[in-house]
Structure 1
């Protein structure tokens, strides 16, 4: 009989324990065991926070799979999909080409992946903690922040460097906050310019107590102990957004130079594409962990929804359960190969452990509740025993013992030396760049608006001189001229920008003709404004009130659901060359010009197509509180003849419209002509 091929997808706790159990119960000639995992090592995730806090070396929290699983084929190709009906997997081979592999049994243990997009701006500004790479980057960032704070001569900026915000009050969040707090505060004796009061570590949790998995008594102990160590708690607080300055709560803003997010996960792409019933992104299984309706496909760990026969409750996504599921699913596969009946998953929780920093922990083991140093000693002992090899246990045990006597390692290995293209999120009032700063990045606006603020001897507090919206860019002049920033850029509304590092910008702008042409046009346009050469024009624009130029918006207001046919009739019946689009008759949602209409018709847009599909969405607009100077800058930047005016940038209630013709006429009325020129006579009626 040919050997059965058993494929395991995922090298976490569940997948590794499954492979170990199968290898122990099946002879090599009975089954070919193949484990797919993108990394060639097992990450011992409960110790990632210790790696961030320099309690452990990064090497101590990983174990090479090939050394851990002798007799198992370990492959690092990425699995792209599973054909359950055809009993075949698709993976990306070493050369980037798709390959297929048939199986007799497949065990899905691929877990979940981080998804910081659950909170606006979190993916742009927060550090996740899911992989050993995440731990390495975060550790380097924390130590870099301390180095910057040491040489910073601005007390407020120094405190910002040393402000750390951890989002999530579960095991990962509590352990990470405790480790960062220990690392920073215990290392202050090596920094002469940093004081203990400069450091702030804030733990934010959406519930009223930390660590919901353990007893109320131990939760309260953990909270008090961490507060005594210097960690600030914000409970019953839900993070609404994240920016480069910190995180926004419903009624508060917490400043933080470092944000760590331990919440937010999503289904892995393999599971997402799987043709099988799911619940909240997790695979639904039968009691024996088989996929529903499948005889040779199984699922365990975070990616699966498995009911525990011991108490009838869904299994929590923890390493303790994943490991036990891996063992039991392996036993069920062996029983299936032998023609024996399978057994449902059943497991009684052995205990819960969590380190809270300062050689202190909380633990519940076999009905006993422990806290303080004894719980910390038990916590370390349990995890030391769980490490999968004797050599690793000895190495980690020595490191822990060493730190009881000697200080933590403060070496800062740079991990982000290569510039890249990234995204960033800013809230209204946040400064994206500041006047006088050295040039470092080029920015393209994806969503929202920014305002250009310039300080001068006449206006030391700064004056808003322009506003930019989606599709506009800024930061190019300082980069190309290699001069300090000539003005500040401040978020006017919530803003999403694409950021290019200096070297990336230089390379692309030289080789990409459209970008080079756009930069040339923008620089010419922005450097040749009439008021920059004529102080009288600038003074007049500063004095004009925008309200004097506002005209009623053209009627009617169109709806996003109006069809191309209906919009065409509106242009035919009314003299206006443009209309605003509003879903409720008040809020500005879009704009359609006669040119847009003709373009849609020439592009073959069908008559029944809704206006929302071809209008200008979220067009650039002015606020009632804007100055005429901002209006002139907006006309120049966008090349528009008219701009909508809204009551404010949040509600975007339509107030009216401003025409560039009327603004020019007003300037000509009050500003004398240049020397040697006269005003042309008005022709007779």
Structure 2
């Protein structure tokens, strides 16, 4: 665009973007959490970045209502609008899930999971209560897609390494459970590689229960549909995602699952000034439909989102200048998944040929693909530096659980001292106290 041709305003409740495929490695300590996020103001120097939430959109007046972090809400006018709010964890009304579950959609959750797991090892190592110990060393993961399989693989690796430094905890004392309602895990890489992933996790001592679900987890007591009951202090929920529910308040046309309904040009149906892309958009998969797959939609993954963004940017400029819109079409290039250090699966699509890899070579493919897909060279270099240092240095296994409540210790030191209760004699009026002293003396 020409200088001064437009103002680009980005509204987000966080001042950074998270590269979600690296969350499992951040949870395991393979990558520094700071290197998984990209500060918006640094990488978008020519854009206006507002930290807040869009609460309502008035399409008739072309005004969005912004709720900032502090202060009163205000209106922001626009000429063109892009909806890219992503997705949130898809949950179900399971008793105890809201209180006990840990998600894996943000860097905060990845850091929290890492600290929580290491804290459980600390508890198990320092207690004589066998019930508390068993509950602390039982880890339940719900969801066998990319997020669930990668997270349990990375966390199991970290726990195995950490156990070497504990006197009373070994890997044999731990219990890792993976649960999925489907009949296979890692469906994105195909049935054969999914079966390999299941066998690999089981060879590492992970219990995998398919075609089952979790009925409840009140107070950490997990009840599965297949009848299994265990007590666990760690319940990780990775059972899929859904579009951001706030979309229902914007008056936009939505698909059956809550996605913004768009044309192949990424324009929202029925509009010529609103576009949508990524996990919150229902985008027709033109390449799949040309191959004969009816009603195909682009899956919610980074492979499509990154490419949709480029087409969307071009189409917005075309819309401003009155040029025709371009359709988004991308044939699936495959999928890669890491299952811990030096372990992974990969399916690479080259035309009509599918190359399937597993083990260390697939793990290299996983790291290479996501390493180069990471936004900005600053973050690319930092991620590769983390991986290089890990070759020569041991994994850090320290828990920083207090980071979640950093002011607690200071508050305890600075809070006002409690008033000391005065003795009964001190509470008597002066004249009465003196008379009683004389009486005692006589």
Query: What is the TM-score normalised by the length of structure 2?
Result: 0.86
- Tell me the residue number matched to 1:325: 308
1:612-638 deviation digits (Å, cap 9, x = unpaired): xxxxxxxxxxxxxxxxxxxxxxxxxxx
Alignment partners' CA distance in 2, 1:340 and 1:63: 32
Residues 1:291 and 2:279 aligned together:
no
State how far apart, in whole Å, the 2-side matches of 1:179 and 1:232 are: 15
Aligned to 1:338: 321
Q: Distance in 1 between matches of 2:376 and 2:242?
A: 31
**Is contact 1:247–1:253 with CA below 8 Å preserved after alignment?**
yes
Name the residue aligned to 2:283: 306
- 1:396 partner SS: helix
Query: What displacement does 1:46 show?
Result: 0.5
Match of 1:109 in 2: 84
Is the CA contact (8 Å cut-off) linking 2:23 and 2:110 kept in structure 1?
Answer: yes
Find the counterpart in structure 2 of residue 11 from structure 1. Answer: none
Deviation of 1:99 (Å): 0.8
1:416 to 404, 421, 426: 404
Greater relative CO, 1 or 2 (CA 8 Å, sep 6+): 2
* Residue among 388, 394, 397 paired with 2:375: 388
Matches within 5 A, 1:268-287: 268-279=244-255, 280-287=257-264
2:176 — aligned with what?
Answer: 201
Match of 1:361 among 344, 356, 360: 344
Check 1:240–1:191 CA distance in 2 against 1; reply closer, same or farther (3 A cut). Answer: same
Q: 1:225 to 1:264 in 2, by over 3 A?
A: closer
For residue 435 of structure 2, what is the aligned residue in structure 1?
Answer: none
Q: 1 CA distance for matches of 2:244 and 2:58? A: 16
> Which one is further off, 357-366 or 179-188?
357-366
* Partner SS state of residue 345, structure 1: coil
1:213 partner SS: helix
Greater alpha carbon shift after TM alignment, 233-242 vs 259-268: 259-268
Partner of residue 42, structure 1: 17
Computing the radius of gyration from Cα coordinates, the structure with the larger value is 1
419 and 234 in structure 1: CA distance in 2 versus 1, 3 angstrom threshold? farther
Measured in 1, the distance between the counterparts of 2:403 and 2:103 equals 15
Alpha-carbon distance, 1:307 to partner:
0.7
Tell me how far apart the structure 2 counterparts of residues 352 and 28 of structure 1 sit (CA, whole Å): 39
Contact 1:158 1:198 in 2 (8 A): no
Q: How does 1:87-236 map to 2 (within 5 A)?
A: 87-93=62-68, 95-236=70-211
Q: How many Å separate the matches in 2 of 1:321 and 1:162?
A: 38
- State yes or no: 1:244 paired with 2:215: no
User: Which digits, 9 at most, give the CA deviation of each residue in 1:440-461, with x for residues without a partner?
Assistant: xxxxxxxxxxxxxxxxxxxxxx
CA displacement at 1:269 relative to structure 2: 4.7
Preserved contact between residue 82 and residue 270 of structure 1 (Cα < 8 Å): no
* Cα distance change on mapping 1:163 and 1:87 into 2, 3 Å: same
In structure 1, stretches of 5+ residues that fail to align are: 1-25, 421-502, 504-685
- Alpha-carbon distance between aligned partners in 2 of 1:68 and 1:217, rounded to the nearest angstrom: 40
Inter-partner Cα distance in structure 2 for 1:419 and 1:406 = 32
2:366 is aligned, of 379, 386, 396, to 379
Which residue does 1:577 correspond to in 2?
A: none
SS in 1 for 2:2: coil
Residues of 2 paired with 1:52 and 1:128: CA distance? 12
Report the 3-state secondary structure (helix = DSSP H, G, I; strand = E; otherwise coil) of the residue aligned with 2:404: coil
DSSP 3-state at the match of 1:260: strand
For residues 419 and 201 of structure 1, the distance between their equivalents in structure 2, rounded to whole angstroms, comes to: 33
Residue 259 of structure 1 pairs with residue 235 of structure 2: yes
Distance change in 2, residues 1:385/1:266 (3 Å): closer
Query: Aligned pair in 2 of structure 1 residues 404, 230: CA closer, same or farther (>3 Å)?
Result: farther
Structure 1 position 179, deviation (Å):
1.1
Aligned to 2:35: 60
Q: TM-score, normalising length from structure 1?
A: 0.56
Quote how far apart the aligned CAs of 1:266 are: 4.5
Q: Distance in 2 between matches of 1:278 and 1:389?
A: 33
Give 3-state SS (helix, strand or coil) of 2:362's partner.
helix
Report Cα offsets for 1:498-546 as digits up to 9, x if no partner.
xxxxx9xxxxxxxxxxxxxxxxxxxxxxxxxxxxxxxxxxxxxxxxxxx
Query: In 1, Cα distance between the equivalents of 2:243 and 2:66?
Result: 18
- Partner Cα distance (2:3, 2:362) in 1: 42
Q: 2 CA distance for matches of 1:379 and 1:320?
A: 13
Contact 1:178 1:226 in 2 (8 A): yes
CA distance in 1, matches of 2:52, 2:155: 34
Residues 353, 364 of structure 1: 8 Å contact kept? yes
1:246 deviation in Å? Answer: 3.5
Distance across 2 between alignment mates of 1:241 and 1:295: 46
Q: Is the 8 A contact 2:25 2:31 kept in 1?
A: yes
Closer, same or farther: CA 299–118 of 1 in aligned 2, 3 Å: farther
CA distance in 2, matches of 1:143, 1:285: 44
1:404 aligns with 2:381: no
The answer to whether 1:352 aligns with 2:343 is no
CA shift, 1:352, in A, is: 0.3
Query: Which digits, 9 at most, give the CA deviation of each residue in 1:350-396, with x for residues without a partner?
Result: 12011112411101123321110011011111111112222322221
CA distance in 2, matches of 1:297, 1:409: 46
Paired residues for 1:509-588 under 5 Å: none
Q: Is the 8 A contact 1:226 1:357 kept in 2?
A: no
Residues 128-156 of structure 1: CA deviation (Å, up to 9, x unaligned):
11111111111111111111111112334
Match of 1:17 in 2: none
Residues in 1 aligned to 2:392 and 2:181: alpha-carbon distance in whole angstroms? 37
Contact 2:51-2:68 within 8 A present in 1 as well: no
